[in-house]
Amino acid sequence: MDIKRVKDYIYWLYYQYLLITCSYVLEPWERSMFHTIIVTVFAMVVYTAYVFVPIHVRLAFAFFSQIFGGQPESTV
């Protein structure tokens, strides 16, 4: 794969991000604050999904298996 094509594609994706968020009209200091906030929120969402989603999926599986006639854990 050509490095120049990958570099151009990354620049194109970044330009699309700037257009979608309308952050291309911000001043440089405002843009850096905006990007910092976006990255922080994204990191918190990923962390929350990593920590809490598996717990909720396990509890939902246990709940629905009990409702639909699964055997309780103590008898297995």
Give 24-44 as a DSSP string. Answer: GGS-HHHHHHHHHHHHHHHHH
Question: Whole-angstrom Cα distance, residue 13 to residue 10?
Answer: 5
pLDDT of residue 1: 62
Confidence band, pLDDT 50/70/90 cuts, at residue 67? confident
Work out the percent of the chain whose per-residue pLDDT is above 90.
74
Cβ–Cβ < 8 Å for 34, 26: yes
Q: Is the pLDDT reported for residue 70 higher than 80?
A: no
Q: Is the pLDDT reported for residue 30 higher than 60?
A: yes
